[in-house]
Homo-oligomer: A and B are copies of this chain.
Amino acid sequence: MSKKDAILQAATRLFSEKGFKETSIAELSKATGAAEGTIFYHFKNKEDIFLCILEDTRNRVVEEFERYLEEEKFDTGLEMIEGACSFYFFLAGTMGDQFLLLHRRHPHELAEVNPVCREHLEAIYNSFVNGFERAILLGQKDGSIRKMSSKKIALIIFSMVDGLVRFKTYNLYDAGALHKEFMELCHSMLQKK
């Protein structure tokens, strides 16, 4: 792995675990074995590191989620949305650091003043919300999902799965064990009566 990649990887971990402001360049240097100068050789400043991480995250998240929806076969829209939720949980597990980072306030605050950051964030969220909505529209067509604004359902479902993931990272309760029940409740909430 190139030094630049090593820096990005260590920064992802540190920023997500400790926070952007709370991570110093000295610390990052120590964690990677790279000299401080090297870090500034590859990145123009600390914020630039963060934006690179966000770009990587965006590319990977969007690509993996789209591919999942593309390649997987679903009999109904309802099954598709259940699959999408499960895949979200799965991604949150395999890309733990990145999701942790997205759940921090920092990216959202930066997005308010930095259009590049904003663009990445929106791409990520839109990818999920649009994927959910596609599933819902499909389900409403094939009769497996109730009639209600697809956009609104998509947003609510997204806030739910995301809420559960977040809950787990704060681990006040054992939220990881809720997966099965969540899927069941989700099912009966969407299903046409």
Say yes or no: B188 contacts A186, CB within 8 Å. no
Interface centre among A121, A163, A167, A170 (most CB of B within 10 A): A163
Binding site secondary structure of chain A = helix
- Pair A173/B129 contact, Cβ less than 8 Å: yes
User: Pick the contact of A162 from B146, B167, B178 — CB < 8 Å?
Assistant: B167
Number of A residues whose C-beta is below 8 Å from B?
41
CB nearest neighbor in B for A163: B163
**Do the beta carbons of B104 and A172 come within 8 Å of each other?**
no
* 8 A Cβ contacts from A113-159 to B: 121-122, 125, 129, 146, 148-149, 152-153, 155-156, 158-159
Query: Which residues of A approach B to under 8 Å, CB–CB?
Result: 19, 21-22, 103-105, 108, 121-122, 125, 129, 146, 148-149, 152-153, 155-156, 158-160, 162-164, 166-167, 170, 172-173, 175, 177-178, 181-182, 184-186, 188-190, 193
A121 nearest CB across to chain B (Å): 7
A127–B182 CA distance with the chains assembled, in angstroms: 22
Residues of the B chain whose Cβ atoms lie less than 8 Å from the Cβ of A189: 185-186, 188-189
Contact A159 B160 (CB under 8 A): yes
In the assembly, what is the distance between CA of A172 and CA of B160, in Å? 15
Residues of B within 8 A of A177 (CB): 152
Cα A146 to Cα B185 in complex, Å, equals 10
Q: A105-B105, A186-B189 are in contact. List 14 more A-B contacts (CB 8 A).
A: A21-B22, A121-B172, A125-B172, A146-B188, A148-B181, A149-B181, A152-B178, A156-B182, A159-B175, A160-B163, A162-B163, A163-B166, A163-B167, A188-B188
